Amino acid sequence: MTRLAWRRIVPKTPRPHATPLLLIHGFACGMDDWGTLPRALARRRAADVLTFDHRGVGASPAPPSGFTVDDMVADARAVLSAAGYARANVMGISLGGMVAQRFAATHAEATNALVLGCTTHGGGAAAPPSEGFTQLAAAWARAHEPNEAVELDAFVRMMLPAGGGGEPALLRRVKVAFRETHRSAAGLQAQLHAMGRFNSTRYLQEIDCPALVVTGDQDAVLPAANSRSLAERLPNCRLEVLQGAGHLFWTHRPAEVVDLLTLFLDECDHARVPSTGT
């Protein structure tokens, strides 16, 4: 199995019965591209948060051959096991949301609750990614040195709502994080191939754990219609559309997103704790 780089964020005082959160990032993104979210959630929920670098991104090397969404699911499961957990809340965004859907379908026993951000179920019923994203992603995947080949300013602006999320400093921070994350062309090519073949419509109805689908109505990468379609197909799901938010909604709406996730995940944790009353 590919050696994966992963990280555990541990709260100062863990809360009893708090289920860990496994974060699965999107295309070309690594652990550091989550920004403040992992530590903020660990602190707020008093529960461990686990993050990792996909194959070919950050400190995780790309394998000699390609890989699939199922391979990325196996990676996520391996991280959970390495951390000593049999079960977690699972959150995936964009490509990571595809991995999270497949994880919940194939590892129901390991999935307490599911959060799907700015993602899609794929297939013919899905709204395709924007042409601009497709072109830039393909340019990255073709390049010998992906970080030098792409116009990061254009790519990052696409990830944020019009105006760069309202503050130039945010645009700079996201660009710096993207620039500092190592990427291999082979890893990006495999990710694009996996995304293009993904289709979860045949098994979404079988995912019965509590689910939260989150998107921004200004997502310029994956249209919000995809999240609405996902929420309609999942049997135990609620939908949250953040007005004025873009693809990387947690970067420019951090407090709102932490509140939203904490409320949902704490509800799911509470539902799992056996009653001690008579």
CATH number, domain of 186, equals 3.40.50.1820
The three-class DSSP label of residue 276 is: coil
Instruction: Give the residue carrying structure tokens 């992963």.
Output: 6
Please give, one letter per residue, the 3-state secondary structure of 22-66. Answer: EEECCCCCCHHHHCCHHHHHHHHHCCCEEEECCCCECCCCCCCCC
Instruction: Give the residue carrying structure tokens 């591209």.
Output: 33
Domain-located, residue 22: yes
pLDDT per residue as tens, the chain (278 positions): 568 999 999 999 999 878 999 999 999 899 999 999 999 999 999 999 999 999 999 999 988 888 999 999 999 999 999 999 999 999 999 999 999 999 999 999 999 999 999 999 999 999 999 998 888 888 877 776 666 655 667 788 888 887 655 567 787 888 788 778 888 888 999 999 999 999 999 999 999 999 999 999 999 999 999 999 999 999 999 999 999 999 999 998 999 999 999 999 999 998 765 433 32
**Number of domains observed in the structure of the chain:** 1
pTM of the model: 0.93
Domain-located, residue 112: yes
For the chain, give the longest Cα–Cα distance. Answer: 65
Domain-located, residue 278: no
- What are 238's strand-pairing partners? 212
Distances (CA, A) of 44 to 120, 167, 183: 28, 25, 31
Domain-located, residue 78: yes
Domain-located, residue 162: yes
Domain-located, residue 1: no
Neighbours of 11 (CB within 10 A): 17
Angle (CA) 45-49-55 rounded to 5° is 155
Domain housing 26: 6-272
* Buried/exposed 97-116: b ≥16 CB within 10 Å, e otherwise: bbbbbbbbbebeebbbbbbb
- Burial group, residue 152, by CB count within 10 angstroms (0-12, 13-18, 19+): middle
Tokens found for residue 261: 């996730």
Domain-located, residue 34: yes
Domain-located, residue 250: yes
CA gap 86, 182 in Å, rounded: 30
Alpha helices (H) in the chain, listed in sequence order: 37-45, 69-82, 95-106, 131-142, 146-149, 152-159, 168-180, 185-197, 225-233, 249-252, 254-272
Q: Please, are residues 73 and 102 in contact by the beta-carbon 8 Å criterion?
A: yes
